[in-house]
């Protein structure tokens, strides 16, 4: 028998050709003695071998040649008592001593027939011995098939019995069937041994070798072979072990590969692979949950976002598609990426140093929009073009309403500030008697649109852009957060709130009911005046400024962007949007004197209520139509 890889290859080739080999063996009569003819010891047999039964292997085992039995020599003298020899042979047959020595049944019967070929008693006795050999051979094979032959004794006995039976009656069909069954059992045993050797060495499957291939070939020859079946179960178990080891090493791709290999071994008839999948999934789930928990802890750290993203990437690598925990973690990281600790639409206030609260803020979602007027808008000015896309990679917070008189007054009281109109002693107000806007003395931030005392919850008017920036700086100092005027892009983005139309509400020139404090054809002044240029059929109940928040918010929760007071923004005036920032940042030139005002007002024409409307204004200008609101980074 060859050993090593070459031997296993020869064995597998031999097993594949077993069918035609057995046919050849059944015909290879010239290789074995033909009973009942007289047989002599093989040439060159020594005196020592002549004293016992001899089984000789002829030829190369790769050719699957059967073992040949040489009977021990039995000499019968011419005057010997043959009747006594017949009784001796019959007694040996009865005792089951068939071929083991010169006093066994088969050697005695063969010797009697050599002495007298017509000895009918010996011939019948030899026939009974042949049947006994066949029965014993089949019993030995049954022991092999029942996996009761761990030490190979039964298979060796079956091999010897088949060789003796062949020596007795090589042409007998039952003998030939036994020979073939024995050879098949020997081949199966060799395949089982080779498979077990590879299994111990960890060679489960592979070209030219592998336990799985050997066991499968054994089962192709003997479908009920218990050793091969046990071997397949062991291969399956080893593949499952590899899968679980890979899972513990966080290599779930390899774990899946080994589980697929294990599934293919036996089709998972016993459910072992399904159980293993459950264990691998549990290991995977544990890793995913650990990554989720670690990422959430990272997000609590000021600089933990990058590490949280790395953990998300690892979770995405090992998780199956659509995993709920990973999807939630991705959403959480996206929220932190775009909103910090906030959520879009969240309303909050910051605490001031004295324990009071700042203005209410709402988180505006990140995103992109097309800023400016389209060429199709007949009322568009050149300064509102070209329309261009602006993207906000991070959300921001904007005050729900314009800054109120009360909120601005807190700043003045705390700092002793003297806003521009206070220092100058006048501002522009609406004059009811003339129906025009005029400059009037004694008007400042405490005044309403017409110069009368303002209510605490009115938007603060008569402030310059520098007054608004000074208030934002004070609020930043008080809260520890960065407040500022919105950029033009932020204002228009928030004003549109996800819509795309000529007006903040869309393209319809008729405003929806109670959309804001606009110039409506149904509005009437205290003296009965009406607007010459207004939205026909619209009335909001106010001539002049309205308290903040009296009208419905837009889709993002913001009030009064479309009306009430026009508002300062942070940008310097530019005659068009050519080369304007695409990221929504303020377009600011240090030292510029002309700033931008955005948004319709209680006294703005329909054209000035369009979403893209913008106007230049001197930075020291104060008016009863202009206020401001703030944004804050998040």
Are residues 90 and 186 located together in one domain of the fold?
yes
The CATH number assigned to the domain holding 565 equals 3.90.1580.10
Domain membership of residue 441 (yes or no) is no
Q: Please tell me the pTM assigned to this model.
A: 0.65
Task: Give dist(CA 338, CA 332) in Å, integer.
Answer: 10
Cβ atoms of 430 and 593 within 8 Å: the answer is: no
Residue 55's pLDDT is 52
Distance CA 626, CA 612 (A): 17
Residue 66's pLDDT is: 65
Note the pLDDT tens digit of each residue in 68-96.
899 999 999 988 999 999 999 999 999 99
As for how many domains the chain has, the answer is 3
**Same structural domain for residues 259 and 387?**
no
CA dist 10 and 5 (Å) reads 9
At residue 292, the pLDDT reads 96
Q: Which residues make Cβ contacts (< 8 Å) with residue 536, sequence separation at least 6?
A: 510, 521
124 lies in the same domain as 273 = no
Instruction: Read off the pLDDT band of 11 (50, 70, 90).
Output: very low
Domain boundary among 341, 374, 392: 341
Q: Looking at the structure, tell me whether residues 336 and 243 fall in a common domain.
A: yes
Domain span at 336 = 230-341
The residue count for the chain: 634
Confidence of residue 208 (pLDDT cuts 50, 70, 90): low
DSSP letter for 597, please.
Answer: E
Same domain, 156 and 269: no
Reduced to 3 states, what is the DSSP secondary structure of residue 364? strand
341, 373, 397 — which closes off a domain? 341
Average pLDDT, the chain: 89
Decide the pairing of beta strands 631-632 and 566-572. Answer: unpaired
| Shared-domain flag, residues 482 and 614 | yes
**Whole-angstrom Cα distance, residue 622 to residue 427?**
6
Domain boundary among 200, 215, 242: 200
Residue 433 lies in a domain: no
Q: Check residue 207 and give its pLDDT.
A: 65
For residues 281-293, b (16+ Cβ closer than 10 Å) or e, as one string? eebbeebbeebbe
Please indicate, yes or no, if residue 172 is contained in any of the structural domains: yes
Q: What is the mean pLDDT of residues 531-556?
A: 96
Distance CA 373, CA 393 (A): 23
In the chain, the percentage of residues whose pLDDT exceeds 70 is 89
Tell me if residue 452 falls in helix, strand or coil.
coil
User: Could you report the per-residue pLDDT of 370-391, keeping only the tens digit for each?
Assistant: 999 999 999 999 999 999 999 9
139 assigned to some structural domain:
yes
For 567, the enclosing helix (H) or strand (E) is strand 566-572
Mean pLDDT (whole number) for 180-206:
92
Maximum alpha-carbon separation in the chain: 167
Same domain, 183 and 287: no
- Asked if the model's pLDDT at residue 156 lies above 60, the reply is yes
391 part of a folded domain: yes
Q: Are residues 380 and 325 in the same domain?
A: no
d(CA 287, CA 323): 13
Residues 169 and 255 in one domain: no
Pair 331, 239 in one domain: yes
Whether 253 and 224 have beta carbons less than 8 Å apart is answered as: no
Within a domain: 351: no
- Give the separation between CA 422 and CA 446, rounded to whole angstroms: 9
pLDDT of residue 131: 96
Whether 596 and 457 map to the same domain: the answer is yes
216 lies in some domain: no
Residue 221 lies in a domain: no
Q: Are 398 and 275 part of one and the same domain?
A: no
Residue 623 predicted with pLDDT over 90: yes
Q: pLDDT tens for residues 218-236?
A: 999 999 999 999 999 999 9
């Amino acid at each position: 028998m060859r050993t090593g890889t070459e031997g296993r290859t020869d064995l597998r080739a031999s097993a594949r050709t077993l069918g035609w080999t057995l046919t050849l063996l059944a015909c290879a009569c010239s290789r074995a003695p033909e009973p009942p003819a007289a047989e002599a010891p093989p040439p060159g047999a020594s005196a020592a071998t002549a004293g016992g039964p001899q089984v000789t292997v002829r030829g190369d085992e790769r050719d699957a040649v059967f073992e040949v039995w040489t009977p021990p020599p039995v000499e019968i003298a011419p005057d010997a008592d043959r009747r006594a020899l017949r009784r001796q042979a019959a007694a040996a047959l009865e005792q089951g001593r068939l071929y083991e020595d010169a006093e066994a049944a088969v050697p005695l019967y063969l010797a009697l027939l050599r002495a007298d070929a017509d000895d009918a008693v010996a011939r019948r006795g030899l026939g009974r011995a042949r049947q006994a050999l066949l029965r014993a051979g089949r019993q030995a094979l049954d022991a092999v098939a029942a996996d009761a032959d761990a030490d190979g004794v039964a298979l060796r006995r079956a091999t010897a019995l088949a060789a003796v039976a062949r020596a007795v009656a090589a042409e007998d069909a039952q003998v030939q069937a036994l020979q073939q069954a024995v050879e098949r059992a020997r081949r199966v045993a060799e395949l089982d041994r080779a498979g077990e050797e590879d299994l111990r060495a960890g060679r489960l499957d592979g070209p030219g070798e592998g336990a799985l291939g050997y066991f499968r070939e054994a089962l192709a020859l003997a479908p009920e072979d218990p050793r091969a079946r046990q071997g397949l179960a062991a291969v399956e178990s080893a593949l499952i072990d590899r899968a679980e080891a890979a899972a513990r090493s966080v290599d779930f791709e390899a774990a899946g590969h080994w589980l697929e290999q294990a599934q293919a071994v036996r089709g998972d008839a016993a459910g072992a692979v399904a159980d293993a999948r459950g264990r691998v999934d549990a290991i995977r789930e544990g890793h995913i949950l650990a990554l989720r928990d670690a990422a959430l802890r990272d997000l609590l750290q000021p600089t933990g976002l990058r590490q949280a993203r790395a953990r998300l990437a690892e979770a995405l690598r090992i998780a199956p598609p659509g995993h709920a925990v990973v999807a939630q973690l991705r959403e959480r990281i996206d929220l932190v990426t775009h909103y910090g600790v906030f959520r879009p639409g969240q309303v909050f206030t910051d605490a001031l140093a004295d324990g009071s609260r700042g203005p209410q803020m709402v988180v505006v979602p990140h995103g992109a929009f097309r800023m400016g007027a389209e060429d199709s808008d007949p009322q568009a000015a050149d300064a509102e073009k070209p329309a261009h896309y602006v993207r906000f990679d991070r959300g921001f917070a904007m005050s729900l309403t314009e800054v109120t008189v009360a909120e601005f007054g807190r700043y003045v009281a705390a700092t002793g500030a003297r806003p521009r109109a206070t220092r100058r002693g006048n501002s522009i107000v609406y004059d009811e008697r003339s129906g025009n806007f005029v400059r009037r003395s004694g008007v400042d931030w405490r005044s309403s649109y017409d110069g009368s005392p303002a209510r605490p919850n009115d938007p603060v008017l008569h402030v310059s852009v520098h007054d608004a920036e000074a208030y934002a700086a004070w609020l930043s100092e008080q809260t520890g957060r960065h407040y500022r005027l919105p950029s033009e892009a932020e204002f228009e983005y928030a004003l549109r709130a996800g819509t795309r139309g000529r007006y903040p509400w869309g393209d319809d020139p008729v405003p929806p009911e109670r959309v804001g404090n606009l110039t409506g054809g149904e509005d009437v002044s205290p003296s009965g005046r009406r607007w010459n240029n207004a939205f026909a059929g619209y009335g909001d109940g106010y001539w002049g400024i309205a308290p903040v928040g009296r009208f419905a918010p837009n889709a993002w929760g913001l009030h009064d962007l479309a009306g009430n007071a026009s508002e300062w923004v942070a940008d310097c005036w530019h005659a068009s949007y050519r080369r304007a920032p695409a990221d929504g940042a303020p377009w600011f030139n240090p030292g510029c004197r002309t700033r931008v005002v955005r948004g319709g007002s209680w006294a703005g024409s329909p054209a000035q209520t369009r979403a893209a409307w913008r106007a230049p204004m001197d930075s020291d200008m104060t008016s009863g139509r202009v206020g401001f609101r703030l944004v804050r980074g998040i």
